[in-house]
Amino acid sequence: MRPRPVLRCGLLLFIAGSAFFVAGQERRREEKGDAQAADSKSLAASDQIEVKEDRFSGVTTVKLKPQVILDKPDHRLTIEVTAKLGEKKIYDHQKDEIRAIVNFESQSKTPVNYGDREFHFMVDGAPLNLGKVDIEVDPYAGRYNKLQPGFKIRETFLKIFDRSALELFSKANRVETRLGPIEFVLDQSLSALLREYSNRVLAQHKIVKERKP
Amino acid sequence: MKRKSLLYRLTFALLIGILIMPPQPAQAQWTVFDPAQYTLQVSKRIEEANRWIQHYTNLANQLTTLGGVLKAADDLVAKQKKAITTMSNIGRTVRASLQLERQLRTLVTTRLRAFKSIDDRLRKGIFDPEADMRDFEEYLRDSIGRTSQDTIANLERLARMDNQLERMRVELANAHEGLAKAEGKKMAAEEELRAEGDIPESERCAQCIASIIEKISNADLLIAHYTKEIARLDNEIKERVQKYNIQMQERVKFGEQVQSMNEAWSRFNNSLDELQRALSKVN
C-alpha cells in the first residue's frame, strides 16, 4: 500500500524542521562556547601581566609572561617582555625614556632558516622595524632541561621596545610580524594582550614619573 | 448890512491861521561853548594816541630784539607745523624704505648662499652634515618674518638634521640592547650553574662549569663596558641637547628681533598713511 502524498509532504517537513532545529542548537552552543572562551581569555590577560614594585629602590617591574606567538609542529616562538620603571635617571632627557626588553625564544625540531634576520612588526598597517636580530643557539639547552618535548634546538634573541613602539602597540588591533622569511599574524587575543601590556607600562611610567621629584 | 473891508478879512484870516498853526520849537540864535566837555574830548584823543604809540613801540621791540625775533620765528614755525610734519614723514619713509631694501637684499643673498653651498657640496658628492647644519643655521639666523613659535619648530628641524645626535641615539639604543643581552646571558649562565650544582657530582661536567663561569665573566665585562658606554653617550646627548637649548634661546632672541621689526613695519605703514593723508590735504 502506497502512502498518500499529503502524508509524504508532512513527513518531509518534519525531517527538514528537525534538521534546522538541531543545526540552530549546535550554533547556539558554539557561540556560547566562544563567548566563554573570550571571557576566559580576557581574565587570563590580567593574569599574564605581572606588576611588581621594589619598596626599597622604588623600581617597578612590569612583566608580560612568556606567550607563544608562533605555534607550528616543528617550530615554536615565544615572547616575554619586561620593563623596569623608576630607575635612577640623571638627565632630563632620560626621564621620558622607557625601555621594555623583549626576549624571544625559538624552539625547533630542525634548524630554522632566518634569512636576513631582519625583524619587523606591522601594527595596524604601521611598520615597526626592529632591525637585525642576533640569534644565539643555546648549547646546553638539552642538558639543563630547557627544551620542550620533541624539540631539539633552542635559540634566543632580544630586542627593545622604546616608548614609540609601546605607544604603537597600545592601540594595536592587528599585529603582523616577519623575521627573515617567517611571516605570521599574531592571534587576536595576543594582540589584545600586547595592547594591554603597553598601556599598563605607559600608565605605570606616568605614575612613577609623577611620584619621583 | 455893511460890507467888511478887505483888510479886515485878511487880518481875521491871519489870526485864525496863527491860532491853528502847530507850535515850533525854540532855537538858539548863537553857538554854545562848553569847556568841561572840550577837556574830556582832548584827554580821550591823547589817550588814544598814547595807545597807538605803545603798540608801535611794541612792534618795534619785537622786530629789533632777539627775543622778539625768536618769538616771531616760533610763531612762524608753529604756523608751518603741518608742513614740517609732512617733511618728517617723508624723511622717515625714505629711511625705512632704504632699511627694508637692505634687509631684503641680505635675506635673499643669504638664502641663495646657504642653498648654493649645500647644493655645491651635494654636486661634488661631499656629504658633510656639520657644514649643512651650519648653512642651515645661517639661513635661519638671517631669515626674517619668523615668529618665536617658529623658532621652536626650527629647533626640532635642526635636531632632525643633526646626524651626530641621531647617531648618538642609535648608539645608545644599541648599548642598551647590548647591556640587556649581557645581563640576560649572565642570568641564564647563573641558572645553568645552579642547575649544574643540582646534578650529582659524578655526572657533573667540568668543561661545562668552566664554560659557564667564563660566560658569567664575559657577561660581567660586557655589562661594565656597556654601562660605561651608556653613561658616556647620555652625557654627550645631554651636552648636545644643552647646545640646542642655547641655540633655542638665541632663536627666541632672534624671534623677538623679528617681532620688533614687525612693529617697526607697522609704525612705518602708519607714517606712510599719515603722509598720504597730509599730502592729500595739501593737494
Asked if residue A36 belongs to a domain, the reply is: no
Inter-chain CB proximity A101 and B180 less than 8 Å: yes
Which pLDDT band holds residue B265 (cuts at 50, 70, 90)?
A: confident
Nearest chain A residue to B199 by CA: give it. A144
Question: Which residues of chain A are within 8 Å of residue B188 when distances are taken between CB atoms?
Answer: 138, 156
Asked if residue A78 belongs to a domain, the reply is: yes
Question: Which residues of chain A are within 8 Å of residue B241 when distances are taken between CB atoms?
Answer: 92-93
**Which residues are CB-neighbours of A32 under 8 A, at least 6 positions away?**
none
Whether residue A3 has pLDDT greater than 70: no
With contact defined as beta carbons under 8 Å apart, do A112 and A120 qualify? no
Whether residue B31 has pLDDT greater than 80: no
pLDDT in tens, B193-242: 998 888 888 888 888 899 899 999 999 999 999 999 999 998 888 887 77
Asked if residue A24 belongs to a domain, the reply is: no
Asked if residue A27 belongs to a domain, the reply is: no
Inter-chain CB proximity B234 and A91 less than 8 Å: yes
The minimal CB distance from B184 to the residues A90, A158, A162 is found for A158
Which pLDDT band holds residue A183 (cuts at 50, 70, 90)?
A: very high
CA distances from B155 to A167, B161, B257, B261 (A): 24, 10, 17, 22
Asked if residue A187 belongs to a domain, the reply is: yes
Inter-chain CB proximity B234 and A140 less than 8 Å: no
Question: Which residues of chain B are within 8 Å of residue A160 when distances are taken between CB atoms?
Answer: 173, 176-177, 180
Asked if residue A15 belongs to a domain, the reply is: no
**Which residues are CB-neighbours of B14 under 8 A, at least 6 positions away?**
none
Chain B, 157 to 186: residues with Cβ < 8 Å from chain A are 173, 176-177, 180-181, 184
Whether residue B155 has pLDDT greater than 50: no
pLDDT at B248: 60
Residue to substitute from A87, A129, A144, interface B, most B β-carbons within 10 A? A144
Whether residue A31 has pLDDT greater than 60: no
Q: For residue A55, give the C-alpha cell.
A: 619598596
Q: Report the DSSP beta bridge partners of residue A75.
A: A108
Helix (H) or strand (E) holding A13: helix A5-48
Helix (H) or strand (E) holding B267: helix B206-282
Q: Report the DSSP beta bridge partners of residue A62.
A: A51, A83
Q: For residue A25, give the C-alpha cell.
A: 542548537
Inter-chain CB proximity A158 and B205 less than 8 Å: no
Using DSSP's 3-state secondary structure scheme, residue A83 falls into strand
Total count of domains within chain A = 1
Angle at A98 between CA A92 and CA A101, to 5 degrees: 145
The answer to whether ipTM exceeds 0.90 is no
pLDDT at A30: 55
Better-scored residue on pLDDT, B26 or A193: A193
**Which residues are CB-neighbours of A124 under 8 A, at least 6 positions away?**
A171, A172, A173, A174, A175
pLDDT in tens, A32-54: 555 455 445 554 667 899 999 99
In whole angstroms, give the CA distance from residue B89 to residue B277.
Answer: 11
Using DSSP's 3-state secondary structure scheme, residue A154 falls into strand
In whole angstroms, give the CA distance from residue A198 to residue A188.
Answer: 15
Inter-chain CB proximity A144 and B191 less than 8 Å: yes
Q: For residue B211, give the C-alpha cell.
A: 664554560
Report chain A's terminal Cα–Cα distance, integer Å: 98
Better-scored residue on pLDDT, B276 or A71: A71
Q: Report the DSSP beta bridge partners of residue A127.
A: A122
Question: Which residues of chain B are within 8 Å of residue A134 when distances are taken between CB atoms?
Answer: 181
Using DSSP's 3-state secondary structure scheme, residue B199 falls into coil
Whether residue B156 has pLDDT greater than 60: no
In whole angstroms, give the CA distance from residue B108 to residue B240.
Answer: 30
Q: Which domain holds residue A155?
A: 48-211
In whole angstroms, give the CA distance from residue A110 to residue A152.
Answer: 7
Asked if residue A202 belongs to a domain, the reply is: yes
Inter-chain CB proximity B173 and A162 less than 8 Å: yes
Asked if residue A133 belongs to a domain, the reply is: yes
Task: Give the residue-averaged pLDDT of B249-276.
Answer: 74
Task: Give the residue-averaged pLDDT of A133-160.
Answer: 92
In whole angstroms, give the CA distance from residue A47 to residue A15.
Answer: 48
At what angle are helices B206-282 and B81-124 packed, to 10 degrees?
150
Residue whose grid cell is 605570521:
A184
